[in-house]
């Protein structure tokens, strides 16, 4: 047989694209269109309905950046269309085919009922088959003219990312607003051809099936009447029917399709636009559910449901109905799909608590899995947190983006730092926006790592990132691929059903231990430093407010615990932990608003804490310690004078000077407190740090606190990525404008270093040593005006450390300091929370911070044979895409060097730096709500139970990485105790002995106790 593949493939392609697709709509009549430009921010439907509209013609530019234009559309169905499927077809002037980052619209009836959204690949609004024709059509269409931030493939900065800088030039040209007859036979022929052509080109050239489809296409094109595509469509389909009817091989892989619409809660659009995106997407999804009984849609992020409930009650009612029918599956059980590395441990617990509770309360459904396809890596505490919230499975996708190493599993047990395992799947289709294309189905099978042991994988399908969701075309593809030779089998089903089947067939799946590190997007640990600082400080202020509110509720008559306020503030912080807000990868508008929200949260939490402390009674000044560790340190009085005080963990003490330790001496540029001696060089770096407790051991191997300005232009994804080549070009900041002693007191000494550098940037650091503490603080104030740079602070330590330890949620992880393998070499920038620790047997050093997450640890051998282990904190970056002004301006933060530190010291000082002592007038001297005897047993949260029963809830964890035994004591009469899950539901009774609760924890175990008051 002659090889005619090229002729047939090109013939099928041309006829499909130029004749069949263009015949899907058989007849059209234009709608009459009028327009009204809403001033400023979006307006309610009622206001738009009452507005004055002007005539509007097709091919007219419309829509300033971030604007809203309402269109009134009217028409009448022609009588001759009676009994046919009629649709309104609207093209706003779409660019490309991605619905998430351009013009979008929501179509309403005149009574305000949302019908459906329109976007590039979903331009229709169905009109029920008219019985007689002549029906009047009257729509109000809310169109958003969101700018295309991705224009030119992120190649250059754009001012479009903020309404303040985007200008007002119209962005789009309206193309079409018609009533049209959908030719259903041609519509289905189009889908038949799509599926067969895509299947064919992804089969091997040696496969008989490929050639069978090829010649069937040739015969089908022979049956197509070019002068009557509609009239011949049925005959063409009849030719194709035999090849579409051939069943899949018995051993074919099964793809479990789950409808999905990934909606970033903010990214290339602000939060206010996401609220509208949810209404548009969810309207589309519920409309699709009405058309396809076999459709199932999985949707996460309780926050987005709440937005719809509050702003679009009619869409909310449709969601509730779809849930009842089993077509809508709430998943994920989190308030938002948060970043996987940066939120604190208690914050991730609250993500799960608030998310799961929402779904239980509003749908009567307890979600079974964590749905996090798009976060930038996942911390190793997740398995335990997920299980403690009642979850059975975990789904992710983003690890497929690894730059260097291919992740070895798709279905596996993920083991966390405490030993908890959770059944985990990583879809081999390598997207959470699948469309069941031939390429995707081929990739899912080819990519699947579990061949021979597992037979199924999951594919979330539907347009996403900016919403959109599944379309009827995708559902039609799924139906054709349900049992088709040469393709994996596609079944649309609930993700719970997929996970149950996958676990049943593969119970002994391999185990992955530790973090799921993404070998990409490493700069998300640093970009938009003020957003990250706002999150860190909010988390700690929430802890502080809950502790002192609980104390006041227990001991202050008449005080009312602020349940509603704390709930609302937590949800605000949780929202901003979304995986494109907290990582710093959103447009300027998002981060501008985030900073304002964090300021508001901080103000309100300060007020709540002050109210709680004041409720304990006015009187003499006291010091309040929110940390779970006893503190003996220098604090400033309200007048600013330093005082050395001792305060119990989670308790308070009078502001009275305790017995002072050895005084701090200042001699030239040398600070000495009898524990450490710090010498500041003329250039403002640390020339020497000697640990006097270790016989005067020199801690540094070279200049300490060396500020290094690196060129930082990644290959792509500026705000997201830091590529390894950043290390190759840098400038050490060694020119100090001034180095001077600014404080000389027996309780503290301080030296200030001022620098100017780069493009007008200025940096002031106050290096402080306090009496009684070996911790050296670097209080830093930067006025930053660089572009495409990253500033790091390095501490080269004379320690041969085989690994570094970095705090993560409810524990810490160890990472090798060598680069023996590609996996280790790829971790050239990593994340941590309040501290990083390095050690050799007998001696360790920690670097503590109050708002920094990104860092690197490297190791070199010196000419003298000694080893230098260098810890470098990433302080601030200057990416220009998607926010051209990212990180510009003022930054204030503190980081510290802690010589002679154990892990326990690092944990305690991490809390201390992030939870400064509070001085306030109070006559109350209550016992701490809880105290713990036993090393390693650390209190993370103290609060009243969410059910307003008055019970006290305490969350503990083991913080050293070993076994821990202790006794929990209460500052109130204890009537009973229960071990609970994260949602404060009882798991078992806890032992109570003489009014105390004995506690035994395995390494890094999290324990939630519910304490009943006597």
Is the N-terminal amide bond of 882 cis, ω within 30° of 0?
yes
Number of H helices, E strands in the chain: 18, 55
Lowest mean pLDDT: which of 192-206, 348-362, 633-647, 950-964? Answer: 633-647
pTM beyond 0.95, yes or no = yes
For 404, the 3-state DSSP assignment is: coil
Q: What is the band of 617 on the pLDDT scale with cuts at 50, 70, 90?
A: confident
Q: Place 131 in a pLDDT band, splitting at 50, 70 and 90.
A: low
What SS3 class is residue 599?
helix
The candidate with the shortest Cα–Cα distance to 140, out of 87, 73, 90, is 73
**pLDDT tens-digit map of 857-868:** 999 999 999 999
Q: What is the mean pLDDT of residues 330-346?
A: 98
Q: Is residue 978 within a helix (H) or strand (E), and if so which, with residue range? A: strand 974-980
Report the C-alpha gap between 711 and 632 in whole angstroms: 42
Q: How distant is the alpha carbon of residue 511 from its chain centre? A: 25
pLDDT number for residue 130:
65
CA angle 900, 906, 910 (to 5 degrees): 135
908-952: pLDDT as tens digits:
999 999 999 999 988 777 899 999 999 999 999 999 999 999 999
Confidence of residue 619 (pLDDT cuts 50, 70, 90): confident
Task: Please tell me which residue in 264, 374, 418, 465 is annotated as part of the active site.
Answer: 374
DSSP 876: E
DSSP 420-481: -EEEEE--TT--SSB---HHHHHHHHHH-TTBTTB-EEEEEESB-BB--B--HHHHHHHHHT
Q: What is the mean pLDDT of residues 761-775?
A: 98
The predicted-structure confidence for 276-314, as pLDDT tens digits, reads as follows 999 999 999 999 999 999 999 999 999 999 999 999 999
pLDDT at position 326: 97
Q: Summarize pLDDT for 218-255 with one digit per residue, the tens.
A: 999 999 999 999 999 999 999 999 999 999 999 999 99
Alpha carbons 27 and 373: distance in angstroms, whole number = 42
Helix, strand, or coil here: 526?
Answer: coil
Residue 465 bears catalytic tag = no
DSSP 732-784: E----SEEEEEEEETTEEEEEEEEEETTTEEEEEEEEEETT---EEEEEEEEE
Amino acid 132: pLDDT: 67
Contact 839, 816 (CB under 8 A): no
Residue pair 175/93 in contact (Cβ under 8 Å)? The answer is yes
- Rounded-to-integer distance, Cα 446 and Cα 207, Å: 16
pLDDT digits (tens, 9 = 90+) for 134-191: 789 999 999 999 999 988 778 889 999 999 999 999 999 999 999 999 999 999 999 9
Alpha-carbon distance 296 to 313, whole Å?
22
Choose among 635, 696, 692, 631: nearest CA to 662: 692
The CA distance from 197 to 220, in Å, is 12
Strand bridging mode 867-877 / 835-840:
unpaired
> How far is residue 171's CA from residue 147's CA, in Å, rounded to a whole number?
7
Q: What is the pLDDT of residue 549?
A: 98
DSSP codes joined into one string, 906-958: HHHHHHHHHS--EEEE----PPPSEEEESTTEEEEEEEE-TTSS--EEEEEEE
Q: Give how far Cα 658 sits from Cα of 18, 644, 745, Å.
A: 87, 6, 16
- Degrees (nearest 5) of the Cα angle 479, 337, 66? 90
The CA-to-CA distance between both ends of the chain, in Å, stands at 91
pLDDT at 841: 97
Average pLDDT over residues 64-78: 97
In whole angstroms, give the CA distance from residue 815 to residue 827.
Answer: 9
Number of Cα atoms under 13 Å in the Cβ half of residue 967: 7
DSSP one-letter code for 249:
P
Nearest CA to 768 out of 895, 662, 654 is that of 895
Give, as one character, the DSSP assignment of residue 810: T
DSSP E strand stretches across 543-660: 621-624, 631-636, 642-647, 652-654
pLDDT at residue 746, as a whole number: 96
Asked if 817 and 888 count as a contact pair (C-beta separation under 8 A), the reply is no
pLDDT for 153 equals: 79
Q: Which residues contact 200 (CB under 8 A, 6 or more apart)?
A: 9, 210, 213, 214, 217, 438
CA-nearest of 516, 527, 640, 645 to 580 is 527
For 424, left (φ over 0), alpha (ψ -120 to 50), or beta? beta
pLDDT at residue 637, as a whole number? 83
Question: How far apart, in whole angstroms, are the C-alpha atoms of residue 961 and residue 670?
Answer: 37
């Amino acid at each position: 047989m002659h090889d005619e593949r090229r002729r047939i493939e090109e013939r099928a392609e041309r006829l499909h694209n130029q004749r069949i697709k263009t015949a899907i709509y058989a007849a059209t009549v234009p709608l009459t269109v009028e327009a009204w430009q809403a001033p400023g921010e979006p307006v309610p439907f009622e206001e738009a309905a009452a507005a004055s509209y002007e005539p509007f013609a097709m091919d007219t530019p419309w829509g300033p950046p971030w604007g809203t234009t309402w269109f009134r559309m009217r028409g009448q169905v022609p009588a001759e269309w009676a009994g046919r499927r009629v649709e309104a077809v609207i093209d706003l002037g779409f660019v490309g085919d991605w619905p998430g980052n351009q013009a979008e619209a929501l179509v309403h009836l005149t009574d305000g009922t949302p019908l459906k959204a329109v976007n590039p690949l979903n331009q229709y609004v169905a009109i029920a088959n008219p019985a007689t024709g002549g029906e009047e059509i009257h729509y109000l269409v809310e169109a958003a003219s969101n700018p295309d931030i991705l224009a030119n493939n992120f190649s250059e900065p754009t001012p479009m990312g903020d309404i303040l800088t985007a200008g007002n030039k119209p962005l789009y040209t309206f193309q079409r607003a018609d009533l049209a007859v959908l030719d259903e036979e041609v519509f289905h022929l189009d889908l038949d051809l799509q599926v067969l052509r895509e299947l064919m080109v992804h089969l091997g050239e040696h496969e008989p099936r490929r050639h069978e489809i090829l010649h069937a296409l040739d015969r089908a094109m022979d049956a197509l009447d070019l002068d009557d595509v509609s009239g011949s469509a049925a005959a063409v389909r009849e030719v194709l029917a035999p090849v579409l009817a051939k069943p899949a091989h018995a051993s074919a892989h099964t793809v479990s399709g789950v409808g999905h619409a990934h909606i970033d809660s903010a990214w290339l659009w602000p939060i206010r636009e996401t609220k509208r995106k949810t209404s548009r997407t969810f309207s589309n999804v519920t409309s699709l559910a009405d058309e396809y009984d076999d459709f199932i849609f999985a949707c996460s992020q309780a926050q987005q449901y709440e937005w719809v409930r509050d702003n679009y009650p009619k869409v909310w009612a449709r969601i509730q109905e779809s849930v009842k029918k089993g077509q809508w599956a709430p998943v994920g059980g989190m308030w938002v799909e948060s970043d996987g590395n940066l939120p604190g441990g208690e914050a991730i617990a609250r993500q799960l608590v608030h998310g799961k509770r929402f779904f239980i309360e509003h749908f009567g459904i307890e979600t079974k899995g964590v749905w996090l396809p798009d976060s930038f890596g996942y911390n190793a505490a997740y398995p335990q947190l997920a299980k403690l919230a009642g979850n059975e499975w975990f789904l992710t996708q983003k690890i497929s983006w690894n730059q260097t190493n291919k992740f070895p599993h798709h279905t596996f047990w993920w083991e966390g730092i405490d030993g908890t395992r959770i059944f985990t799947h990583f879809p081999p289709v390598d997207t959470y926006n699948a469309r069941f294309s031939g390429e995707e189905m081929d990739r899912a099978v080819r990519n699947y790592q579990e061949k021979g042991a597992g037979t199924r994988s999951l594919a979330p399908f539907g347009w996403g990132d900016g919403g959109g969701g599944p379309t009827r075309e995708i559902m039609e593809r799924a139906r054709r691929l349900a049992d088709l030779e040469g393709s994996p089998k596609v079944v649309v089903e609930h993700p719970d059903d997929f996970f149950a089947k996958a676990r049943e067939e593969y119970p002994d799946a391999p185990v992955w231990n530790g973090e799921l590190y993404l070998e990409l997007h490493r700069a998300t640990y640093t970009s938009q430093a003020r957003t990250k600082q706002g999150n860190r400080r909010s988390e700690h202020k929430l802890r502080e407010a809950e502790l002192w509110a609980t104390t006041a509720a227990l001991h202050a008559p008449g005080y009312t615990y602020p349940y509603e306020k704390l709930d609302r503030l937590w949800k605000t912080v949780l929202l901003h932990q979304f995986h494109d807000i907290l990582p710093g990868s959103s447009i300027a508008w998002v981060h501008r608003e985030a900073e304002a929200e964090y300021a508001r949260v901080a103000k309100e939490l300060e007020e709540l804490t002050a109210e709680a402390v004041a409720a304990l009674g006015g009187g003499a000044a006291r010091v309040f310690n929110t940390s779970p560790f006893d503190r003996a340190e220098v604090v400033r009085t309200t007048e600013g004078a330093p005082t050395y005080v001792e305060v119990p963990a989670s308790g308070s003490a009078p502001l009275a000077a305790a017995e002072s330790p050895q005084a701090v001496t200042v001699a030239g540029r040398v600070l000495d407190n009898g524990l450490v001696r710090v010498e500041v060089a003329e250039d403002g770096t640390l020339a020497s740090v000697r640990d006097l407790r270790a016989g005067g051991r020199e801690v540094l191997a070279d200049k300490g606190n060396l500020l290094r300005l690196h060129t930082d232009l990644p290959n792509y994804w500026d705000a997201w990525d830091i590529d390894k080549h950043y290390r190759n070009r840098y400038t050490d900041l060694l020119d100090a404008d001034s180095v001077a002693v600014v404080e000389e007191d027996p309780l503290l000494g301080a030296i200030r270093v001022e620098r100017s550098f780069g493009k007008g940037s200025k940096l002031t650091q106050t290096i402080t040593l306090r009496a009684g503490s070996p911790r050296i603080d670097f209080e830093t104030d930067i006025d930053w005006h660089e572009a495409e740079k990253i500033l790091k602070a390095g501490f080269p330590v004379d320690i041969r450390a085989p690994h570094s330890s970095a705090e993560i949620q409810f524990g810490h992880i160890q990472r090798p300091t060598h680069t023996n393998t590609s996996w280790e070499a790829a971790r050239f920038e990593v994340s941590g929370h309040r501290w990083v620790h390095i050690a050799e047997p007998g001696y360790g050093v920690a670097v503590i911070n109050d708002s920094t997450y990104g860092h690197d640890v490297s190791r070199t051998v010196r000419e003298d044979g000694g080893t230098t282990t260098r810890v470098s904190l990433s302080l601030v970056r200057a990416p220009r895409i998607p926010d051209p002004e990212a990180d510009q301006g003022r930054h204030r933060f503190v980081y510290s060097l802690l010589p002679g530190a154990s892990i326990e010291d690092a944990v305690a000082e991490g809390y201390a730096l992030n939870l400064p002592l509070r001085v306030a007038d109070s006559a109350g001297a209550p016992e701490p709500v809880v105290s713990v005897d036993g090393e390693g047993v650390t209190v993370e949260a103290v609060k009243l139970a969410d059910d307003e029963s008055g019970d006290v809830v305490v969350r503990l964890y083991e913080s050293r990485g070993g076994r821990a035994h202790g006794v929990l004591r209460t500052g109130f009469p204890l009537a009973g105790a229960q071990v609970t899950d994260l949602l404060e539901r009882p798991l078992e009774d806890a032992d109570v002995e003489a009014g105390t609760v004995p506690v035994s924890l395995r390494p890094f175990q999290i324990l939630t106790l519910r304490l009943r008051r006597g």
